[in-house]
Structure 1
Amino acid sequence: MGQKWLAILRDYLRSGNEIETPCYLYDRAGLLENIEILKKNFDGIARLFFAVKANTNLNILKLIKEHGIGAEVVSPGEIFVCKKAGFKGSEILYNNVARKKDEIIYALKNGITYFNFESINQAIILAKIAEQMNRRVKVFVRINPGIFPRTHPHLSTGSESSKFGIRMEELPEVAKTIKGLKFIELVGIHCHIGSQILSPKPFIRATTKVGEAIEYFRDNGYAIKYVNLGGGFGIPYRPSENPLNFAPIVKCYRNFKGEYNVEIFLEPGRFFVANAGYILTRVIDKKQRNHLPIYMIDAGMTENPRPALYNAYHHIEPLFEKNGRRFKIRVTGPLCENADEFGVFNLPELNIGEYLLIHNSGAYTRTMASTYNGRPLCAEYLIDSRLRLIRKKQPLRRLIEDE
């Protein structure tokens, strides 16, 4: 990832300009680099969709759309944002564990082409509403392959105990039920095994189960044309971690596409945006606890809940380089909450007011942020040739304006 954005940010602040912290920063060049990595790897093999749950900023979505990427959504809210960003209904996949009737109606009114379903009940509800609206809907059945990838348990969505998908032994009942539903057409298999996976092996193993599902449904008279193999491509959050090796995955997917004669969809989220995003924060207090210094910063679990939810690691470094000795420093947020911790890092001596960067903050941070402790959601900036505000900090009135 290039450092041009960092030089622009440093020059901006050295020139006497101020940025209110905390705030989110996105490196435009880094985002484009990630897009090209995925497009280059899967060119001619798969159609790419961005998992919008990772980042819903309109400017980010527009940039992704400009490069020929579709959108994968899980709610009417995400459909609304994608439509505002310029995505057509035919460019949107609507996947979700379970939907209410009004959510299905909203999606159909907005021209969504592809739906998944993860239970027989959901297929029946979708078919009834499609009939009421006189719309024939293309659907994917999401299978649960019973695979646990090496990731955090909360990020594993393909294991046997996971709430996601339909178990392989339930496929006969699915095939029988779908035959009686006239307004939905089963055209594809969906399988997403989890998130933040850094080994190719789970992705490859999952294709075996998907292949079994294709063969079963084709043997029972269904023309399976598409396969959505999900996302889950991880990034190195720790300096010691190695990046995901795409080569075995690409080879497997190419062979799979040829063997089963299907069009493959992929829906990465994190890989597109995570390492192109940062949280800019400042030290606002310093303490000592149990022989370990504490830097208390103005960013917390309201801006990045991942450490509290998943014990996730986000590398932290000073914005401006500092020579000299480094110390083990405990970094915490300012909230009235014991879980508001980022971890222990090797950092130099910093004064109150100095800047820090929280790395890999472009995915599942702002979309999971909250106003806990009465903290308005903070601003977002895109850095290309300059620093550009792309979402304002919420004013305090937003905390009560719906009451």
Structure 2
Amino acid sequence: MNERVKELIPEWRERSREPICAYVYDLGSIQKHVREMLQSMPARTGLFYAIKANPDKRIIEALLPLVKGFEVASIGELLKIREVSESVPILFGGPGKKDDELEKAIRNHVTYIHVESLLELRKIIWLAKEWNHPTQILLRINLRTNTLPQTKIAMGGRPSPFGLDEILIEEAISILKESNNTHVRICGFHFHSLSNNLQADLHADMVRLYLQKVKEWKLRYELDVSVINAGGGFGVTYDGEPGFDWSRFTSLLAQSEEFRSLENTELFFEPGRFIVADHGYYVAEVIDIKRSQDQSFAVIRGGTHHNRLPASWGHNHPFRVVPIDEWAYPFPRPEVEGSKVTIVGELCTPKDRLHTDAELRRLRAGDILIFEKSGAYCWTISHHDFLGHPHPEFYYLTEQGEA
């Protein structure tokens, strides 16, 4: 845990008597992590940040000078990027792009649109012609194979709403070669077959499979492939086990024959969770501790309306206890010692749980919990306004030490 997060707690307690509830994003650590990722990446590869993991503007600004660009999945995300930079490269994905989104993507100079259906392809050709605007695309392909790694969230290798089925490539290319298409150019292919994969070796094998497939299609359809986007899906663990080994993955890939034969084709990666998850903290004060039928519950100021990831994924989210010695009330302070405690939120639903049966030496009402690994898919995917509780505060740590 970043000790600088703990150091903020006394300042917050002096500033307000309200129970503490906050997010802290360590921008300096995010930048350090990305620099380390870039050092191990071979030539002809590019790193994009998938902002769906966390679209906070301060994070986007911190990553802007480091990454090659950003991946977005809606017009709202696209416009967030354009608020920060008018020229940084953008990859635009998502299975349900509306006409208005496609028009705005074309007008906002998206670098590549990931095409996810034949209808979407026809719409892009029609709109690009209407706007008289050259447009570059990557065909997102759902491979027909059972050799992909299996994770909790799979998006390829099985029936899926994402991307074009592999057998539709020939039809897509025929549409692109129609005589009235002079504005839309296929530059390559996009793959995103899974999420949160922890196995570096299998991930390298998966990307090698992508490269093999593209080589076949390039020859079969006489394509000039300048870009292959191998997506994201690099895993993060929440149970203390080792996470994804990025250095091993990039080393295995760089040594492969498939990568060495890329020639002038660029290979993109678009991680989200892997870039930011470890560098965000959700900080919440224990409001109450109670016993119910031989079980102990700690109720925090906050819950799944701020951090829905543990409920969404069904895991126990890691946290640390920061003891607070002061107790302002003239009556006894509820506590548990040497007992299992379930951490729950302030919502009127039994699903508002962040950790079940945590084994703690001691926990008291008024202590502070710091939930680590809360940088990705925590605040962003939460139902913020359910029951109308106040939102948390947001703080940022930089390499210069500012909060």
State the TM-score bracket (shorter-chain normalisation).
Answer: 0.7 to 0.9
Partner residue in 2 for 1:5: 4
Task: Provide TM-score, normalisation by structure 2.
Answer: 0.88
Deviation at 1:277, TM superposition (A): 0.2
Structure (1 or 2) with the larger CA radius of gyration:
2
Structure 2 residue 217 is the aligned partner of structure 1 residue 194: no
The structure-2 alpha-carbon separation of the partners of 1:58 and 1:226, relative to structure 1 and needing over 3 Å to count, comes to same
Matched-pair contact (CA < 8 Å) for 2:287–2:365: yes
The structure-2 alpha-carbon separation of the partners of 1:60 and 1:289, relative to structure 1 and needing over 3 Å to count, comes to same
Deviation at 1:185, TM superposition (A): 0.7
1:80-138 residue CA offsets vs partner (Å, 9 max, x unmatched): 111112252x5111111121100011111211121111111111111110110011211
Deviation at 1:68, TM superposition (A): 3.8
1:257-288 residue CA offsets vs partner (Å, 9 max, x unmatched): 32132101110111111110010001112122
Following the alignment from structure 1 to structure 2, what is the Cα–Cα distance between the partners of residues 372 and 42? 42
Structure 2 residue 206 is the aligned partner of structure 1 residue 212: no
Structure 1 segments unaligned to the other structure (5+ residues)? 389-403
Partner residue in 2 for 1:327: 339
1:207-262 residue CA offsets vs partner (Å, 9 max, x unmatched): 314421342134212111110011111122111x1121234421343233321321
Matches within 5 A, 1:121-200: 121-145=119-143, 146=145, 149-152=149-152, 155-180=153-178, 181-200=181-200
Matched residue type, 2:379 = R
Structure 2 residue 102 is the aligned partner of structure 1 residue 100: no
Deviation at 1:10, TM superposition (A): 4.7
Matched-pair contact (CA < 8 Å) for 2:211–2:259: no
The structure-2 alpha-carbon separation of the partners of 1:149 and 1:302, relative to structure 1 and needing over 3 Å to count, comes to farther
The structure-2 alpha-carbon separation of the partners of 1:37 and 1:195, relative to structure 1 and needing over 3 Å to count, comes to farther
Matches within 5 A, 1:302-313: 302-313=305-316
Matched-pair contact (CA < 8 Å) for 2:154–2:193: yes
The structure-2 alpha-carbon separation of the partners of 1:182 and 1:69, relative to structure 1 and needing over 3 Å to count, comes to closer
Partner residue in 1 for 2:371: 358
Aligned CA-pair RMSD = 2.3
Deviation at 1:11, TM superposition (A): 5.5
Deviation at 1:184, TM superposition (A): 1.2
The structure-2 alpha-carbon separation of the partners of 1:168 and 1:68, relative to structure 1 and needing over 3 Å to count, comes to closer
Structure 2 segments unaligned to the other structure (5+ residues)? 326-335
Deviation at 1:13, TM superposition (A): 5.2
Task: Provide TM-score, normalisation by structure 1.
Answer: 0.88
Partner residue in 1 for 2:349: 337
Matched-pair contact (CA < 8 Å) for 1:120–1:174: yes
Structure 2 residue 387 is the aligned partner of structure 1 residue 373: yes
Deviation at 1:183, TM superposition (A): 2.1
Matches within 5 A, 1:10-29: 10=9, 12=11, 16-18=14-16, 21-29=20-28
Matched-pair contact (CA < 8 Å) for 1:326–1:347: yes
Following the alignment from structure 2 to structure 1, what is the Cα–Cα distance between the partners of residues 44 and 285? 44
Matched residue type, 2:229 = N
Deviation at 1:387, TM superposition (A): 5.7
Matched-pair contact (CA < 8 Å) for 2:23–2:283: yes
Q: Secondary structure at the match of 2:46?
A: strand
Deviation at 1:291, TM superposition (A): 1.7
Q: Secondary structure at the match of 2:195?
A: coil
The structure-2 alpha-carbon separation of the partners of 1:376 and 1:75, relative to structure 1 and needing over 3 Å to count, comes to farther
In the alignment of these two chains, the number of paired residues is 381
Following the alignment from structure 1 to structure 2, what is the Cα–Cα distance between the partners of residues 179 and 252? 37
